[in-house]
């Protein structure tokens, strides 16, 4: 299994960095940083929940270029560590800080995006649905006891939900690096 993980990680990291070598632009560099970090997080053999913070750090550099996507990713990053917060008895700080973060994020998104555009409105609805789903999953995992047959069902649900978001953000970064970046280069 370790060799399979090594092979998949290398299969994703090599093209990302070869592309960076031939397209030396700041945006390409930042996207490749995030994509490489996400590759190691998603496809490594053994990963701890806190390892996602190693991908969140370079993602902050993309905040100016892709504010909605990056802020969304950062929110899911914190949500993915919720089982650790439960274990360390940090659920109250989690909810308070996530609430404050969401208020700030919502304010930035309202300022950044024009809601008259249909695509932006759709993204806002998807973003809000995702965030409210995270809140519901967190509350259910906190207050509803897990079935005896599946004691880790809530941690699994949080992991699967977070993985889906991480994988989509990973695909988004690769798309921006290879396709969108190519379009920008071709246009100049």
CA–CA distance from 15 to each of 44, 82, 95 (Å)? 17, 33, 39
- Alpha carbon distance, N-terminus to C-terminus of the chain: 45
Tokens matching residue 46? 């053994």
C-alpha span between 34 and 37 (Å, rounded)? 5
The whole-number pLDDT of residue 152 equals 92
C-alpha span between 15 and 65 (Å, rounded)? 22
Tokens matching residue 163? 């993985």
Residue 20: CB atoms within 10 A of its CB come to 19
The whole-number pLDDT of residue 179 equals 87
Residues in the chain where the model's pLDDT stays below 70: 108-120, 181-188
**Domain extent at residue 182:** 2-187
Whole-model pTM: value is 0.86
Q: Give the number of domains in the chain.
A: 1
CB burial of 145-154 (b: ≥16 within 10 Å; e: otherwise) equals: eeeeeeeeeb
The pLDDT > 90 percentage for the chain reads 56
The whole-number pLDDT of residue 71 equals 87
The whole-number pLDDT of residue 63 equals 86
């Amino acid at each position: 299994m370790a060799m399979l993980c090594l092979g998949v990680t290398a299969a994703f990291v090599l093209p990302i960095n070869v592309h960076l070598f031939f397209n030396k632009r700041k945006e390409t560099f930042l996207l490749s940083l995030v994509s490489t970090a996400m590759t190691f997080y998603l496809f490594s053999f053994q990963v701890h929940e806190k390892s996602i913070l190693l991908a969140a750090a370079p993602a902050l550099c993309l905040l100016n270029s892709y504010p909605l996507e990056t802020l969304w990713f950062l929110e899911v990053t914190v949500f993915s560590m919720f089982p650790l917060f439960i274990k360390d008895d940090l659920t109250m700080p989690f909810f308070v800080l996530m609430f404050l973060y969401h208020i700030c994020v919502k304010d930035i998104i309202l300022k950044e995006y024009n809601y008259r555009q249909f695509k932006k409105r759709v993204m806002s609805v998807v973003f809000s649905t995702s965030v409210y789903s995270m809140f519901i999953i967190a509350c259910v995992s906190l207050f509803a006891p897990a079935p005896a047959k599946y004691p880790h069902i809530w941690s699994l649900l949080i992991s699967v939900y977070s993985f889906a978001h991480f994988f989509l953000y990973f695909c988004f970064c690769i798309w921006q690096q290879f396709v969108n970046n190519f379009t920008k280069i071709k246009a100049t």
